[in-house]
Amino acid sequence: MTDAGIPAKNRRDLTRGSIALTMILFALPTLGSSALQSLNGSINAVWVGRFLGEEALAATANGNILMFLLVSFVFGFGMASTILIGQAVGRRDADLARRTIGTALGSIIPLSMLIAAGGWLLAPTLLDLLGTPASAADLALTYLRMIFTAMPATLTFTLFMMALRGTGDSMTPLWFMVVSVGIDLILTPVLILGLGPFPEWGIFGSAFATATANTLALIGMVATIYLRGSVLALRGPELRYLLADRTILISMISKGLPMGLQMIVISSAALTMLSLINREGVQTTAAYGATQQLWTYVQMLAMALSAAASAMAAQNIGAGKWDRVSRITRWGLVFNLLLTGTVVALLTAFDETVLALFLGSDSAAVPIGARIQILATWGYLFFGVAQVLFGTMRANGYVIGPLVVMVISMYPVRLGFAFGFYPLLGADALWLAFPAGMVATALMGAGLYLHGRWRKGRMLPAEEAAQRSEGYRAQAGTCASCSDLAPTTAWKPSEEPREPQAA
């Protein structure tokens, strides 16, 4: 049974039923994906820290910050495509969903290749700008260059996971995150230590294992999309959708760029903070790197709920069910406070025990990490509030206001606090700057949600694309996949594409 070309078995309808239950069922697989990714990073950090030393762990901390910065480029683009796909699924428009994923892939893959090439060449300069400790510089360069080499596969894998969630499918990304993590967990110690017939590659082995795991998982995910007949599968003439549709591309750029800039603002502020932390010495940098591993478990709850709120709100907006959107936000906030609060309490209670896994129980960095935990981790309650609010607002294409909020909270607030109070508080000012920025983000985000004009926004270019798609279907009649609908002249992005074949 189909709904305007979208098989019901290939999508999860987020516009019906209990909001609380739907959010939990959607968010749990997303949370599981994040938990696996975080666990994988943590286990890799344990291997690196315990067998390669604190310098290697500091090197991965510097490399991971830069990787986060690069993933920010695809985050905004991917979120824009997720919203467009979600709204298309909500209005039961399979053609728009396929043209959206085609445009996204046709744009991201070439861009990621340019990033990989440029990053390889500029890696030494980037590490110098970070003020990477000299003892960790060579290791960081090796690690970072491998990350850049894997960038096309990593970004494409991320894009497909986000697009699938836009269709309401959060389980497929979970299964292939299981595949990726499983491969990585096996390969990392093998390639770090040179077990069996494999070479002893040290920190390069850690990065190579992750790159290989993401590539194999991407191949499996793409195969599954086609085997299941997902709405995202492009077949035959639909492959022309990889040539970017101008209308959809404009929408992705206009809405995705501010969302990507939000991540870049966060990343650049984090890079500045890391340069300050690096000045405190390699032990403090290692303690911060270990603490970051713990923070990922707190962040992932907020990000999973934000993704659920965004996907649910997008489908309900597409379906015109505005009465459900406010309730989606309220449930997101309730779940955030309950779940994030629980994890914050657990990490605070067992901080030294967990930090010792990364640093060793006798490391002088453990008490530094415990101090960071006490002063900073509670701020993630407010981080979660802001992410749920932003998730709902961006579902309707409202992205400029949240970007302004992030700029203010990251720079005048967080960095201003760190620089301003450092003479008085010393290193504690660096750690307290994190919750200061998060509280400011939550307060300003709440103001935007309550008084902003986000409800009046819209993904205008996408709506124009949908109208064009509807007009084409009206001309084509009721036939969903007739081969004689193919145009006799070469298709161009600015022209009306043919009706796609049924998935």
- For residues 153, 158, 159, 164, the Cα torsion angle rounded to the nearest 10 degrees is 130
Q: Are residues 244 and 314 in the same domain?
A: no
User: Of all helices (H) and strands (E), which one includes residue 388?
Assistant: helix 380-394
Task: Give the pLDDT of residue 54.
Answer: 67
Kindly state the tokens that stand for 443. 């307060």
Whether residue 253 is predicted with pLDDT greater than 70 in this model: the reply is yes
> 124 and 72 in one domain?
yes
Position 338 scores a pLDDT of: 92
Indicate whether 210 belongs to any domain. yes
Specify the pLDDT at position 483. 29
What proportion of the chain, given as a percentage, has pLDDT over 70? 84
Reported as a pLDDT band with limits 50, 70 and 90, residue 279 is confident
Distances, alpha carbon 385 to alpha carbons 117, 329, 341, 405, 445, in Å: 38, 10, 11, 14, 8
Q: Do 86 and 466 meet the contact criterion of CB atoms below 8 Å apart?
A: no
Q: What average pLDDT does range 283-297 have in this prediction?
A: 83
Mean pLDDT of 8-25: 76
Asked if residue 187 is part of any domain, the answer here is yes
Dist CA 186 CA 202 (whole Å): 15
Clarify whether residues 242 and 350 are in a common domain. no
Is 489 part of a structural domain of the chain? no
DSSP secondary structure of 402-427: HHHHHHHIIIIIIIHHHHHHHHHHTT
Rounded CA-CA distance 191/198 in Å is 6
Residue of 417, 333, 430, 434 lying closest to 380 (CA atoms): 434
- Domain residue limits at 231: 32-258
Residues 227 and 338 in one domain: no
Domain identity same for 134 and 212: yes
Identify whether residues 234 and 291 lie together within a single domain.
no
The most distant pair of C-alpha atoms in the chain lies apart, rounded to whole Å, by: 75
- Same domain (yes/no): 216, 362: no
Q: Is residue 458 part of a domain?
A: no
Is the pLDDT reported for residue 466 higher than 70?
Answer: no
Torsion of CA 30, 35, 37, 39, to 10 degrees: -170
Q: Does residue 469 lie in a domain region? A: no
> Can you tell me the distance from the alpha carbon of 379 to that of 347, in angstroms, rounded to the nearest whole number?
13
Predicted local distance difference test score (pLDDT) of residue 51: 66
Residue 25 lies in a domain: no
Dump pLDDT digits (tens) for 378-415. 999 999 999 999 999 988 888 889 999 999 999 999 99
Please, are residues 365 and 289 in contact by the beta-carbon 8 Å criterion? no
Number of domains in the chain: 2
**Residue 497 counted as domain residue:** no
Task: Tell me the pLDDT band of 70, cut-offs 50, 70 and 90.
Answer: low
pLDDT of residue 224: 94
Ramachandran region of residue 458, left (φ > 0), alpha (ψ -120 to 50) or beta? beta
Give the side-chain half-sphere CA count within 13 A for 35: 10
**96, 254, 315, 362 from 234: Cα distances, Å:** 12, 25, 22, 55
What pLDDT is recorded for position 143? 80
291-349 confidence digits (pLDDT tens): 887 887 788 888 889 989 988 988 888 888 888 998 999 999 999 999 998 988 888 88
Same domain, residue pair 246 and 297: no
> Quick one: pLDDT band at residue 97, thresholds 50, 70, 90?
confident
251 and 393 fall within a common domain:
no
Same domain, 310 and 219: no
C-alpha to C-alpha distance for 73 and 260, rounded to whole angstroms? 5
pLDDT (mean) for 232-251 = 87
Euclidean distance between CA atoms 370 and 352, whole angstroms:
6
- Please state the φ and ψ torsions of residue 459, each to the nearest 5 degrees: -85, 70
Residues 218 and 314 in one domain: no
- Going by their DSSP bridges, the two strands 2-3 and 6-7 should be labelled as antiparallel
CB of 283 closer than 8 Å to CB of 54? yes
For residues 248 and 208, state if they share a domain.
yes
Q: State percent of the chain over pLDDT 90.
A: 21
Comparing 159-168, 198-207, 438-447, 459-468, the range with the smallest average pLDDT is: 459-468
Distance CA 285, CA 291 (A): 10
pLDDT of residue 424: 92
pLDDT band for position 62 (50/70/90)? low
Q: Is 2 helix (H, G, I), strand (E, B) or coil?
A: strand
**Contact 502/5 with Cβ under 8 angstroms?**
yes
Contact predicate 116/149, CB 8 Å: yes
Helix boundaries (H) for 131-242? 134-149, 151-166, 171-193, 203-227
Residues 6+ apart with CB under 8 A from 114: none
Count the neighbouring beta carbons within 10 Å of the beta carbon of residue 119: 19
Q: For residue 80, tell me if it sits in a domain.
A: yes
Q: What is the pLDDT of residue 458?
A: 61
